[in-house]
Structure 1
Amino acid sequence: MESSSLVKDYNPVTPAAFARGYIVYCSFGHPHLVCRPEHIPDDPMLPHPIYAFRSGRVFAEQFLHDLDPWRNSQFIISTLFDYLHITSFGSGYKPVTSQLNEVAEALVDERLVMFELWDIAEHPNVVKQQLQKSDKTRSSDAAGSSAPKRSSGADLASPEKKAPAPSSTSSAPVVTGAGKKADTSKASEPQASEASAKKAPAPKKAPPQSMEECVQRLADARKRLEETGEYQPKYSQSELTELAEKGELNDRFFVRLIFGDVSKAENTSLGFPRPDSKRAPYWATTFDQMENADTDPMLLAALFGIDHKEISPDQEFTLAIIDSHSMPPKAERETFIPTFEKMKDFSKRELKGDLKERKIPQGVIDEVLSEEGAIEFEKTIETYKEKGGNIFDEQDFKEFLEIENNNNQNQSLARFRIMNQFGANQLFSGNGLTKIDKSSDWGSKTKGNYGVVESFTFERDPLEINQLENAVKLIKAPRV
């Protein structure tokens, strides 16, 4: 079924053949410039294009499918399709789904490039001629309509700053999302309604400099969350992907959600020691990534990829703020962003004896730590849980596989061991990002599929938190 934000019939106001790019607004209301490589404006403030689309068409399709339906023209996909093919005749006879797929493919192979514009007012050579309202928006204003208005996709300035006045040194005109050349004889008319301001990406602050500042900023975030009832992430999905692809997190402060109250948590290690192997891995993210989620454990659980069905109604939580600059030497600690490839290497090394003992070929790890393997394991583990299975009981899971006549028992058992020993559950995405639990209350209200860039830390001889002194701050994590 097609999204309501897409339309089957396209009747462009003005042909796209004369355009030099379009501004589109992502699901968070953040402006992006889409253009052909030969139309890239001469703007020294323009950032690098979004390289994350190179990873595959699925991400590009998701980005386009989730474009803000109110800030963008209802014809934006068809307009981009026409612009891609430099046509003046419209694309009304091709399904919008097909148009979206072709535009996504163009972003992957860079026939189209996309630039993220934090504040379009900072890019005068790109957009100063696009900030005029389209004819449709003007006519709606004149009619005094109070209903939400769809923009042309290029007629909204940042809600925080006004656009600069046009100058005589502008580059070649960029056509608005409605296909009309902007009138540079008039001042721009940025629109900043209450609704659009609410959808704007959350502001980014300088990194905290102390534990005390972290605690205060989380308290401020709690107030915002209680007032709005809405989680506003700092980073767009494309930004999260770029951060994960860098392969390292250099932040000072990290955060981990711990099951149990503070008094219990301080007498345990950051990671939960496995009863059989004593391995104590833990998953965390940076303070910067999770700050706007404050200390609400259910929101954090949704963003961190923790299955809400495994959380009892009376479960208490503790938030551990970790000062990486004050942690003991890393002699027995290993940390990395957990992608499929890195987790494969780690699992082959760390589980070599485990797999040999279970007579499972080590090559199976390559099969299960992949996109296809992730889909298969999620189906298997969900069926297992629906039938009352215990995700911590390996023997019970093995019996379940035998009863189900599972043809991939080695693969399922190997993947179950990875989950059991390292915490990579069925929501493990393999791209360095947490997969949001969309079936949870908070997850269903949060746009996008990914929550934060995550870090995986493995400790062979973990210290208790109360032995880490000033390196860890524990605070109660009450629900909103």
Structure 2
Amino acid sequence: MVGDAHPTWLKTDGKVRYWSTTFDQLENADTDPKRISQCLGLKYDPSKNYKLAVIDTTDAAKYSDSYTIIPTHEKLGMFAASELKDIPQDKIAKVLNNEYSGEYARAVGAAKKDGLDIRNTEHLKRFSNKYFDDYYSRVLFKTRAKIQTRLGANEYFTGNGITTYTGKECSNAYGVVETFTYDKNPQTIGKMLADGRMKMLDTHPVQ
């Protein structure tokens, strides 16, 4: 889903990384932006506008030179190691695992309570120095935060290929099966819409 609140298309070097799921996984959410966000492991912001991007990924791959993985801790870690050369390579596996996930989520929650955005370099530095007592813990947190900023794996990332369900209406722990796609030669949204490889659907709250 694309919208003011969630940058699905993450451009840092002329290439694109995005997270998605299959259309059938979201059928029960209908066109409701809140339900869709919760299923995708995102926090819904009612002040933002959302659209649902439906992409023919098989056809799009022919043009964009892309590949897709089920984002487990191990597979996303391998991708990070091969593509993110500016982060400590020996720390990637130490922050992409079940044990560190809980610690990272708690720290991100604390940063948000302080009104800080860890995607902001200055905010990240300020929070790390305040929250962690030792240098090693700061390095681990900064490494994980950079993975989120560069690849989109937020504090709800489970590492098992299924999103966290962020709603409170039911007891579900998980949302939908997710995929991570890397486009080496991305096409513009306008071109994909014109070629019929993408459709943008309006979202509407469902009572």
TM-score by length of 2: 0.90
2:99 is matched with 372
What is the CA distance between 1:463 and its match in structure 2? 1.3
Whole-Å separation in 2 of the counterparts to 1:325 and 1:342? 21
Equivalent position of 2:66 in the other structure: 333
User: Match for 2:11 among 251, 255, 273?
Assistant: 273
Quickly say closer, same or farther: Cα 1:473–1:466, change in 2 above 3 A: same
1:273, CA displacement in angstroms? 1.7
Which residues in structure 2 correspond to 1:39-58 (within 5 Å)? none
Q: Which moved more, 1:448-457 or 1:405-414?
A: 405-414
Does residue 432 in structure 1 map to residue 156 in structure 2?
Answer: no
Q: Are 1:476 and 2:202 counterparts?
A: yes
User: 1:300 is matched with which residue: 10, 33, 36?
Assistant: 36
Task: Give the superposed CA RMSD.
Answer: 1.8
- C-alpha distance after superposition, 1:412-444 (max 9, x if no partner): 01100000011100000000000111xxxxx11
Are the aligned partners of 1:435 and 1:449 in contact in 2 as well (CA < 8 Å)? yes
Asked if 1 retains the 8 angstrom alpha-carbon contact of 2:2 and 2:53, the reply is yes
Partners of 1:270 and 1:388 in 2: CA distance: 23
Q: What is the Cα deviation at residue 328 of structure 1?
A: 4.6
Aligned match of 1:190:
none
Q: Secondary structure at the match of 2:10?
A: coil
List, as ranges, runs of 4+ consecutive aligned residues in structure 1 with deviation greater than 3 Å: none
Partners of 2:119 and 2:146 within 8 A in 1: no
Structure 2 segments unaligned to the other structure (5+ residues)? none
Which of 52, 77, 80 is equivalent to 1:347? Answer: 80
User: What residue number does 1:171 align with?
Assistant: none
Deviations 1:156-208 (A, max 9, x none): xxxxxxxxxxxxxxxxxxxxxxxxxxxxxxxxxxxxxxxxxxxxxxxxxxxxx
Cα 1:464–1:325 change in 2 (3 A) is same
Percent identical residues: 32
- Partners of 2:181 and 2:114 lie apart in 1 by 32
SS in 1 for 2:158: coil
Whole-Å separation in 2 of the counterparts to 1:467 and 1:425: 29
What is the CA-CA distance between 1:279 and the residue it aligns to? 4.3
1:433 & 1:324 partners in 2: Cα distance? 19
**Partner amino acid for 1:318?**
K
Q: Per the alignment, do residues 448 and 270 of structure 1 end up closer, same or farther by CA in structure 2, a change over 3 Å counting?
A: closer
Give 1 or 2: higher helix fraction.
2
Quick one: structure 1 residues 463 and 363, their matched pair in 2 at CA, closer, same or farther if it must change by over 3 Å? Answer: same
The offset of 1:406, in angstroms, is 3.8
Aligned mates of 2:120, 2:24 — CA distance in 1: 36
Q: What is residue 258 of structure 1 aligned with on the other side?
A: 2
Q: Is the 8 A contact 1:434 1:453 kept in 2?
A: yes
Aligned positions, number: 200
Q: Is 1:270–1:465's contact at 8 Å kept on the other side of the alignment? A: no
Question: Equivalent residue for 2:126?
Answer: 399
Amino acid at match of 2:180: F
Larger strand share, 1 or 2: 2
1:325: how far off? 3.6
Q: Which runs of 5+ in 1 are unaligned?
A: 1-256, 261-268, 438-442
Q: Is the Cα contact below 8 Å between 2:63 and 2:187 reproduced in 1?
A: no
1:35-81 deviations in Å (ceiling 9; x for gaps): xxxxxxxxxxxxxxxxxxxxxxxxxxxxxxxxxxxxxxxxxxxxxxx
Secondary structure of 1:475's aligned partner: strand
CA distance in 2, matches of 1:424, 1:473: 25
Contact 1:389 1:396 in 2 (8 A): yes
Counterpart Cα distance in 2 of 1:314 and 1:392 = 21
Q: Name the structure, 1 or 2, with higher relative contact order (CA <8 Å, separation 6+).
A: 2
Q: Give distance in 2, aligned partners of 1:340 and 1:406.
A: 26
Partner SS, residue 326 of structure 1: helix
| TM-score (structure 1 length as normaliser) | 0.40
Q: Indicate conservation of the 8 Å contact 2:66/2:183, yes or no.
A: yes
Match of 1:327, SS?
A: helix
1:460 Cα deviation (Å)?
Answer: 3.1
What is the alpha-carbon distance in structure 2 between the residues aligned to residue 428 and residue 372 of structure 1? 12
1:363 aligns with 2:90: yes
Distance 1:330 1:342, change over 3 A: farther
Cα distance, 1:307 vs structure 2: 2.3
Alignment partner of 1:447 is 2:179: no
Q: CA deviation at 1:452?
A: 0.4
Give the counterpart of 2:151 among 422, 433, 439.
422
Q: Which has the larger radius of gyration?
A: 1
